[in-house]
Amino acid sequence: MRVIITENFKALSLYAAQQIAMAIRRKPNLVLGLATGRTPIGTYEELVKMHREEGLDFSKVVTFNLDEYHGLKPTDPSSYNYFMWEHLFKHININPENVYIPDGTIPVTGIREYCLWYENRINFFGGIDLQLLGIGNTGHIGFNDPGSSLASDTRLKVLSLKTKKQNGPDFGGADKVPDCAITMGIGTIMQAKTIILLASGSKKARILARALEEPVTSLVPASILQMHPWVKIVADEEAASKLRWKNHYRRVEEVRKRIGYEEVYVK
Ligand code: GLP
């Protein structure tokens, strides 16, 4: 696990976008796992800029989103489908057939089958090469709130009240946030070949420290990333402020830079 500490949100966004761009240039048909929330918005802005100014080509890229609220149509402005088109897809040359986002309109009776299909699609493309993640205030990744099985696959999850509260502003109040979401499981996420988790702002400092520097527990779902062989945590100064080992993480990056040691980030 590498921890990259950036000066601020802008630098974090640029770093993440550069990692993704590098992966796409190395593997034009990259299978890219994508996240929503405020944190990746800056990364998407940088990617759009790279597409416009440097011709970063998304025509062969396949994307899988982590999650979607259950009961929302793709046209609903609060849906993650809408979010992704607004912030990224409509600004780049992605083939709409290569965009996969869980469908929030699937009736409850069909969800199990639908989730298996979603997992199968990921496998059909050879698995996710690079998964982008944020971290929720509860320590969730995707919508895997505390108590989620660390081996879970794509399924319907009942959201915690804390998560409904966190995402309340997107709906005009926590009580208006849907009770359930379809989310990739923690097991699904852990199968991604490489992972980048973004954390920004002082509100994430405590949960990030718990996830990275305390024992792995299903009560802090992001802590499972300690078990992933190829993960980068990119945190800005504020989010990193409670990391006890932050000076060590900085030193690791300094030494790596000095000796010119950088792995290829797509296997
Ligand atoms: C939502 C998403 C998560 C995301 C989290 C953090 O709950 N389901 O994938 O990581 O929000 O959001 P933010 O980046 O706005 O803090």
User: Which one of 83, 140, 157, 188 would you pick to mutate in the ligand 1 pocket, going by the greatest count of ligand atoms within 8 A of its CB?
Assistant: 140
pLDDT digits (tens, 9 = 90+) for 207-245: 999 999 999 999 999 999 999 999 999 999 999 999 999
Residue 265 reports pLDDT greater than 70: no
Residue 267 reports pLDDT greater than 70: no
Predicted local confidence at residue 264, as pLDDT: 63
3-class DSSP state of 123: helix
Which is more confidently placed, 267 or 188?
188
Mean pLDDT throughout 73-102?
A: 98
Mean pLDDT throughout 245-258?
A: 97
pLDDT level of residue 262 (50, 70, 90 thresholds): confident
pLDDT digits (tens, 9 = 90+) for 5-57: 999 999 999 999 999 999 999 999 999 999 999 999 999 999 999 999 999 99
Using CA of residue 116, residue 80, residue 145, residue 31, what is the dihedral sign? positive
Angstrom CA distances, 18 to 84, 86, 214, 241, stand at: 19, 21, 29, 24
- Following CA atoms 243, 244, 250, 255 in sequence, which dihedral angle do they give, to the nearest 10 degrees? -140
| Percent of the chain predicted with pLDDT > 90 | 97
Count other Cβ atoms within 10 Å, centred on residue 179: 12
134 sits in the region (left: phi over 0; alpha: psi -120 to 50; else beta) called beta
CB 255 within 8 A of CB 5: no
User: Which one of 12, 13, 36 would you pick to mutate in the ligand 1 pocket, going by the greatest count of ligand atoms within 8 A of its CB?
Assistant: 36
Dist. CA 222 → ligand 1 center (Å): 12
Shortest-distance atom of ligand 1 to CA 183: 8
